[in-house]
Amino acid sequence: MTGNIQLLSDTLAAAKAEDRAALIAYLPAGFPTVDGGIAAIKAVFDGGADVVEVGLPHSDPVLDGPVIQTADDIALRGGVKIADVMRTVREAHEATGKPVLVMTYWNPIDRYGIERFTEELAEAGGAGCILPDLPVQESAVWREHADKHGLATVFVVAPSSKDERLATITAAGSGFVYAASLMGVTGTRESVGEQAADLVRRTRATSDLPVCVGLGVSNARQAKEVAGFADGVIVGSAFVQRILDADGDEAAGLTAVRELAAELAEGVRRAS
């Protein structure tokens, strides 16, 4: 079974052909429940997201801010397993035909087994993995298995990354490059800032891969700003917060994330 890296590439290329950025949403598996999380992803796609990242909840999410940490804690207390993550990917992709990635820290994959994880993700129709804490120099075995199963390996670059380091990272990655707009953890921000535009410019100088910006984007105005210089706009905490704000009312939460996706989708289309 081959994964959907080509679908991911085609989706990003189609957005570029429409002279806009792609909208990439993030939601953790198992939040607020496994079934509720799948429904939320479908709602986000229905609202206009092009790609979804499914978070694999982790007990020590060092790069995630308090909103996603809260969601991960809810999912873990609910007993979410890697099998539930795979089910989430499968059902979200089958229902929509759109690319679904997994965003995960390295430790759960290492414990689960690289071959087992990549084989199951490909079988579920996954497009690849975003691996924020896997050093490129230690990624050869992962990339070998990912390539074999048709999965993208998306690495994260940051404003602190030197040009030489950017070239090393982008040469090893596939699918797209995840550009963190600022130093720090995930969460909404008042401003995404000029650092992100500079990082995108420097990253593009090293690679033809699409460069998608995340960390801090939470509304249509910011989405429009980032879409003016990036190939994709990544939004996570804002979606999670909408579900938290629904306070257990699943219907309200689904409506809220669908509406936010629609607002952001309009924002990425308004970029000049």
* Cβ neighbours around 178 below 10 Å, total: 27
Residue 59's CB is within 10 A of a number of other CB atoms, namely 11
HSE (CB half, 13 Å, CA atoms) of 107?
A: 6
d(CA 109, CA 141): 12
Tokens 């087994």 correspond to 113
Q: Which of 10, 18, 19, 64 is catalytic?
A: 64
- The DSSP 8-state label assigned to residue 180 in this structure reads E
Active site residue 208: no
53 tagged catalytic: yes
Structure tokens at 134: 């896997």
Q: Which residue has the tokens 């997994």?
A: 102
Identity of residue 136: V
Q: Which residues of 102-136 are buried (b: 16+ CB within 10 A; e: fewer)?
A: bbbbbebbeeeebeebbbbbbebbbbbbbbbebeb
Tokens of 152: 């993208």
Catalytic residue (one of 18, 35, 50, 53): 53
Catalytic positions are: 53, 64
